[in-house]
Amino acid sequence: MRVLVTGPAGFLGNEIVQQLLERGDEVVGVSRGDYPRLESRIDYRRGDLSNAEFSRQAIRDVDVVVHTAAVAGVWGPDEMFHRINTLATENVIKSCRDNGIRNLVFTSSPSVTFAGDDQCDTNESVGYPERFLCAYPRTKAAAEQAVLKAHRLGELNTCALRPHLIWGEDDPHLLARVIERAKSGKLKIVGDGKNLIDTVHVINAAGAHLDAIDALNQQPELAGGRAYFIAQDEPVNCWHWIQSICEVAGVPGPTKRVSFPTAYAAGAMLETIYRVLGRQQEPPMTRFVAAQLAKHHYFDISSAKQRLGYHVRISMAEGLQRLRDAWAAR
């Protein structure tokens, strides 16, 4: 197949590209940045997908689009999140229609259903919250809804994947952040330390996208028009897992504690102060981060298994061993 991947240089996007190439697919990449090593391996088109004309010119001559490009984070201008996450996705949808592309896989996030409460074995029947704790999940939810609404069987088959807490040995985001805060002594256990969470190794998250590509191509009536939670299928204690990551990295794990109400209140106060002062840097605590660190959030992924054929490629133990081996070699 000829597959177009947006955000091909990102942590997840790069792994999707690698798996596609390994199985013999032809890959087209679209990104705003300049990545010479990537450009030597794929057909590369550089530009901003929030520009409708560029999107229409770039997204063409392929069998399927995998739209992973986004801006993540819990702080920043609302306009930036809207432009990159929502507007660009709307342009991708229109470009698929205009250019006769029949399949679109969208990388969403479980945070589109998160309002700060526990999520225990939650499945896709859960709705979108009335109120979001930051701009990222709000703009990703709007994008996801646009993708699912665009599904027209046989014309444009769409689905959305919600991988949760993607990690791996080359992770520049989640693990890097945990280790940096642990080193500085700023990482504290929020809540009672008993909350269970889902994560997903990047190999599994990328594999889910290949499963979705194949499912839309082969059984669009079964796979299309839906969102899917994607995870390891091994919920873990959040703080035990963080402790394991710290041990592999050779840094002390968190020992100090703060209650969830205290952390949440501090996040609300800091958000207000930073917003009033016009500060661009992220506050040391936000309501979203406090809730993510203290609450249960693990998911029922049976729909992805049944409708997409999703399966876990490597286990949590295997992922941690890969992490240990890779970091020891550095």
Q: Is the Cβ–Cβ distance between 274 and 247 less than 8 Å?
A: no
Residue 27: other Cβ atoms inside 10 A: 23
Structure tokens at 159: 């689905």
**Residues carrying an active site annotation:** 136
Residue 192: other Cβ atoms inside 10 A: 11
DSSP lists the bridge partners of residue 107 as 161
Burial 68-84 (b: 16+ CB within 10 A, else e): bbbbbebbbeeeebbbb
Residues 6 or more apart whose CB falls under 8 angstroms from that of 176 comprise none
C-alpha span between 110 and 256 (Å, rounded): 28
Q: Hey, is 97 helix, strand or coil?
A: helix
C-alpha span between 91 and 150 (Å, rounded): 12
For 250-316, give the DSSP string: T-PPP--EE-HHHHHHHHHHHHHHHHHHT--SPPS--HHHHHHHHS-EEE--HHIIIII----SS-H
Q: Is the Cβ–Cβ distance between 104 and 157 less than 8 Å?
A: yes
Nearest 5°: the CA angle 159, 164, 170 is: 110
